Amino acid sequence: MMGLAEHARLALAIALLERGARVSIVRHLTDLPRMVVRRLYREVLGVAPAAGQLPTTARVMGTRLRQVQASLWASLYRGLGGPGICQILDPQALLAAHDLYLQVARGQGHPPTLDLNDAWVVARDLRSGAAELRPCLRCQIHYLVCSEPRLPPTCPLCALRARALRAARGREAARAPASGSQSPASGRAERA
Ligand SMILES: [Zn+2]
């Protein structure tokens, strides 16, 4: 007869699969045999499991907007999982953070950019130290950085703000090309 622990592992596997988790991640988090997870995958999703590589954290936050969303996800995960969350990989915190992240992103009118597999990769790298949340002293948010990043390891909100400022100055300069009274500030735009 199936014990309570076995039931809990199956329930976790189903919750992960319903949210689009890969077989390898479900196996890692539940310790269920590969054949069991593959069978569950077909039952839950009605198709055979997809093959393919997991992303890297650097790819998950390959643009400043994606870095903002990855930072939001990681902040929710740390908030829900508590202070020790970066030493373990808590599947319940992973699920809860992801559900909340989807709500927050959609509530703000932004299409979510992280799926559950991306979220797992970030959680794994937070635990190994390959990714970390850093405080921004200027805008007070915590932002995610990782090893081998595609972007400078700086705050994405400040970078986006600087970019918007540069664009506004560019539009201003384009409107008044012949005035000859270029402000000194426009020559030293911040680099993002
Ligand atoms: Zn900032």
From first to last of its 192 residues, the chain has per-residue pLDDT tens of: 678 889 999 999 999 999 999 999 999 999 999 999 999 999 999 999 988 889 999 999 999 999 999 999 999 999 999 888 888 889 999 999 999 999 999 998 989 999 999 999 999 999 999 999 999 999 999 999 999 888 999 999 999 999 999 999 988 888 886 655 554 444 444 445
Domain boundaries, the chain: 7-45, 57-157
B/e letters for 16-52, b = 16+ CB within 10 Å, e = fewer, are: bbebebbbbbbbbbbebeeeebbebbeeeeeeebeee
CA of 158 to the centre of ligand 1 (A): 4
Task: Tell me, in angstroms, the distance from the centre of ligand 1 to residue 71's CA.
Answer: 12
Q: What is the pTM of this model?
A: 0.85
How far is the centre of ligand 1, averaged over its atoms, from the C-alpha of 1 (Å)? 55
CA of 50 to the centre of ligand 1 (A): 38
Compute, in angstroms, the gap from residue 140 CA to the centroid of ligand 1: 6
